[in-house]
Chains A and B, each alone.
Chain A
Amino acid sequence: MSNKESLVVVGNGMVGHRFIEQLIQAGGLDRYQVTVFGEESRPAYDRVQLSSWFTGTSAEELSMVPEGFYEQDGVELILSDKVCTVDRELCEVLSESGRKVSYNKLVLATGSYPFVPPVPGHDRDGCLVYRTIDDLEAIAETARNSKVGAVVGGGLLGLEAAKALKDLGLETHVVEFAPRLMAVQVDEGGGQMLRRKIENLGVKIHTSKNTQNIVDGDGTVHQMQFADGEVLNTDLVLFSAGIRPRDELARECGLELGERGGIVINDHCQTSDTNVYSIGECALWSGRIFGLVAPGYQMGQAAVDHLLDVESTGFTGADMSTKLKLMGVDVASVGDAQARTPGALSYRLIDEEKEVYKSLVVSGDKKKVLGAVLVGDAEEYGSLLQMALNDIKPPQNPAELILPQGSGEAPKGLGVAALPTTAQICSCFNVTKGDLTGAVAGGCQDMTSLKSETSASTGCGGCTALVKQVLDHELEQLGVEVKKDICEHFPYSRQDLYHLVRVGEIKSFHEMLEKYGKGKGCDICKPTIGSILASCWNEYVLKTEHAPLQDTNDYFLANMQKDGTYSVVPRVPGGEITPEKLIVIGEVARDYELYTKITGGQRIDLFGVRVNDLPAVWKRLVDAGFETGHAYGKSLRTVKSCVGQTWCRYGVLDSAGMAIRVEQRYRGLRAPHKVKMAVSGCTRECAEAQSKDVGIIATEKGWNLYVCGNGGMKPRHADLFATELSDEQLIKTIDRFMMFYLRTAGRLQRTSVWMENLEGGLDYLKEVILEDSLGLGAQLEAEMAANVDAYQCEWKTTLEDPEKLKRFRHFVNTDEGDSNVVFVKERSQIRPASQEEKIIAKSA
């Protein structure tokens, strides 16, 4: 027998499990042998994220228990076995399966159960609750044969449940007894905005509805009958009308309970029996139940401290502020959100266009922030919460805290410098600002290491922005510069480098390195500066001093594929191509056995060209009148177009003609990243111009210009920049726009990200380009003109230079090709062989 004391924990929910972690962390296993009973068949899982189960998160992924956790010595977890009796005289618990365990200390973490209003019919088949994974399985099962679902309860959990029903594809209704949604957390205006946003998502909201009866439906399974005489027909009823503490064990063994339930505890989480503790949603502290997970964790810590005789202040109540995303809508509530404090002043912002509601509550003397409600945009949650918790004085005009920020203004809210070190930043894991600053000083200098060291922002994530601010501020304090250097060789950003090249008229990497850099350079700074030199002076990229700067794609003027072969894309301006040229492409592909594919940019890509064959392939293409398509470069790719007015019944201008003109003008222009453009002949927008860096759409009154759109990984709709332009105005505007982008963007920054990071954003860009606020217009146009004049087809130039052509071979000492390049046939074309296929090919 061990001489350890026996600690029995009843309940393995989020708080019960976290308690065990807290106990182990504090070294509690040296003193206690722990037995944990769980009524469910699964160990603890994340109930906060429960609704994500319906969108594909598995029960395993929801689990909070690392593998092997309950297999360690000193802890035993018994699942699917409910404790049914506590004998406080014998200090013993008895489970349903007949298991008897003695305890020295007992912890009740039995949680809560969903409240089901006792209306007649509440226990019909298909009337369900939302609390456990088993409940979710029942909901999914019932939903399979349902068209309509109704959630009873419009609080936080009710809206989560409604999301679940919606994800299951049901017509979803929310029935709320109170006159508004989330009546506990938000004020009336917030509730209205929330309702508006959620209704826009297709959920029907019924407030002030008192359900009186549930009977057979009219064409549906159920009918809910309300006190006001109205009815709602539905196939599924989901109760989520609040929680009640699970205090039945405590009741039976005679522990003190609150008037309306809940196990009464003191600051150390002890019940009326000092050997029995209670934590989480079943516990009643100072007459209050805390229905959030963070206070439960704090109770757990208090209990651990007391069990291990560690001096602590215990549990002293918890802030019930909360920030969450309900059906994609940001909602946050801070402190006295409803302005119940006598004399409190309120400020409100209602933005019906953006569907944002914010209210701020301050004390009558304007010295304290008491509370806030944020709906639709909860960015200020972190700073408002900190101001409320730490008694930080609001500005003279407190409304500034929730007013939208004008362009060019300094960021509002509170600097993290103002926070005391005791300020709690992460409430899930009780991490203070002091903990964070200590960890930063101890070497955690990025978010990843700071999070893993302190656990901050690994719970609900509500504090992430604030943690980042603390990190940045501390790094600054420690003299660690938040670097914008492109690499170790140049302590400059791309903009700085561009400026240095332009102003200093620097013509080579070598010169840059001597004047402004150190070392030999690397695969980051070389191509970047190579590209800037090309942007500024547009010299041949394979000129001897520029050649070693180029990425292999720029060097071999083709796109390297995974097996070391290249793909080749001839330019097809505007996607317009003659049958003769199509035949040439086909013949080249056939003769060199290339894989051909039509690209998204209305061109043809030829894959599988060996480096030795590149010049011969290009010779044929150039002889037939093709030019390089710069598919390999950080430069203009294609200008996509529709056929426009010429053929289309709806077209109003010649979009294909304009696309060709634009493509010919900007071809070859080296930029911070690739650039895509498109021209549509009418507002039907067949060329998808609004997803391009530069999009042009014809109208009856001229061209409309859109800028800074993006497809790909982070799609962004382009912004309307100028309207009803003539051909000449259009070209002039794009000239300026492109040159300004070349000048000021960061390395590998697409126009969309560039614009979003420009101080002042789109408005500023309009001022510079359209109103010439910086007086740069003429200069930008002249720079572009010089670029256009200096254009050369890099492949044509290369083919004319026998010295350069020598570079296009795999081996310097033989004309053999790379024997590791092997193709197999698939769908009548080649593709690279897999490793297995290569081995088979070799042994054959």
Chain B
Amino acid sequence: MEWATVCSAGEVTELLGIGALIFDHQVAVFKVDGELYAIDNFDPFSQANVLSRGIVGDLKGELVVASPIYKQHFSLKAGTCLEDGTVSIAVHPVRVQDGMVQVALGSPVSQQAA
């Protein structure tokens, strides 16, 4: 697994997503209660790279981000879409190493117009 450094840990604010470019791949990174999560930034419904700009919350205990375009919810831990079981996006391993946020492109990487 190859870790890519994204930014310093201080640059990720609680409950506010940020976008990052890793090679040619766009990811969205979130922090909730100190825990980091990384998912694809690409919203399969709108075909736009916008998930980092969604509102973070929980639905029935599941941590989710809501797409800012058509409002579908994606699980931050599993990448599944709560409204449509046939759709999911990739989740990626994320960690803090020496004060820096690092993301590894997990598999499978979803089809994305990068």
Contact = CB atoms under 8 A, between A and B. Distances in A.
A336 interface: no
Contacts of B113: 820, 835, 838
Contact of A522 (B16, B49, B53, B59): B59
Given A519-B61, A522-B55, A820-B114, A812 B49 contact: no
Given A548-B56, A811-B21, A560 B68 contact: yes
A523 B66 contact: yes
Contacts of B71: 523
Contacts of B18: 812
A536 B46 CA distance: 35
Interface in B51-92: 53-61, 63-64, 66, 68-69, 71, 73
B48 interface: yes
Contacts of A835: 47, 113
Interface in A790-837: 807, 809-814, 816, 818-820, 835
A523 B55 contact: yes
A319 interface: no
Contact of A551 (B21, B42, B64, B68): B68
A649 interface: no
A810 B69 contact: no
A806 to B, nearest CB: 8
Contacts of A814: 21
A562 B46 contact: yes
A708 B33 CA distance: 43
Nearest to A519: B58
B42 to A, nearest CB: 8
A556 B52 CA distance: 13
B50 A522 contact: no
A563 B43 CA distance: 10
Nearest to B8: A812
* Most chain A CB inside 10 Å of its own CB: which residue of B15, B47, B48, B56: B48
A521 interface: yes
A548 B55 contact: yes
A835 B113 CA distance: 9
Interface in B1-30: 5-7, 11, 13-16, 18-21, 26, 29
Nearest to B59: A522
Contacts of B64: 522
Contacts of A810: 19, 49
B114 A811 contact: no
A812 B20 CA distance: 5
A523 B57 contact: yes
B90 to A, nearest CB: 16
Given A488-B60, A522-B66, A812-B20, A552 B7 contact: no
Interface string A504-535: 00000000000000011111011100000000
A349 interface: no
B6 A555 contact: no
A489 B66 CA distance: 15
Contact of A816 (B15, B21, B58): B21
A564 interface: yes
Contact of B6 (A519, A564, A809, A813): A813
B17 to A, nearest CB: 9
Contacts, number: 99
A488 B5 CA distance: 37
A178 interface: no
A754 to B, nearest CB: 23
B108 to A, nearest CB: 19
Contacts of B13: 544, 547-548
A812 B7 contact: yes
Given A810-B19, A812-B18, A564 B50 contact: yes
B50 A520 contact: no
Main secondary structure of the interface of A (DSSP, over half): loop
A558 B55 CA distance: 16
Given A560-B69, A812-B6, A816-B21, A520 B63 contact: yes
Could you say which of A522, A544, A547, A814 has the most chain B C-beta atoms within 10 Å of its C-beta?
A522
B35 to A, nearest CB: 12
Interface residues of A, number: 38
B57 A526 contact: yes
B53 to A, nearest CB: 5
A564 B60 CA distance: 28
A527 B21 CA distance: 28
Nearest to A560: B68
Contact of B53 (A549, A552, A563, A819): A552
Nearest to B42: A820
Interface string A535-568: 0000000001001111111011000101110000
Interface in A592-620: 611
Contacts of B48: 562-564, 820
B57 A520 contact: yes
Contacts of A551: 55, 68
A3 to B, nearest CB: 47
A522 B57 contact: yes
A548 B15 contact: yes
Given A522-B59, A816-B21, A838-B113, A560 B54 contact: no
A809 B73 CA distance: 23
Interface string A411-429: 0000000000000000000
B32 interface: yes
- Most B Cβ at <10 Å: residue of A525, A563, A813: A813
Contacts of A813: 5-7, 20-21
A523 B19 CA distance: 19
Contact of A548 (B16, B59, B66): B16
B22 to A, nearest CB: 8
A778 B40 CA distance: 52
Ordered nearest first, which 10 A-B pairs have the shortest CB separation? A522-B57, A523-B66, A552-B68, A564-B48, A548-B15, A523-B55, A520-B58, A812-B18, A564-B50, A552-B53
30 contacts: A488-B59, A519-B58, A520-B56, A520-B57, A520-B58, A520-B63, A522-B58, A522-B64, A523-B57, A523-B66, A548-B56, A552-B53, A563-B48, A564-B46, A564-B53, A811-B19, A811-B21, A811-B26, A812-B7, A812-B20, A813-B5, A813-B6, A814-B21, A818-B49, A819-B114, A820-B26, A820-B47, A820-B49, A820-B113, A835-B47
Given A523-B54, A526-B57, A555-B53, 12 more contacts: A520-B63, A523-B57, A523-B66, A548-B13, A548-B14, A551-B68, A552-B68, A562-B46, A562-B48, A564-B69, A812-B18, A820-B49
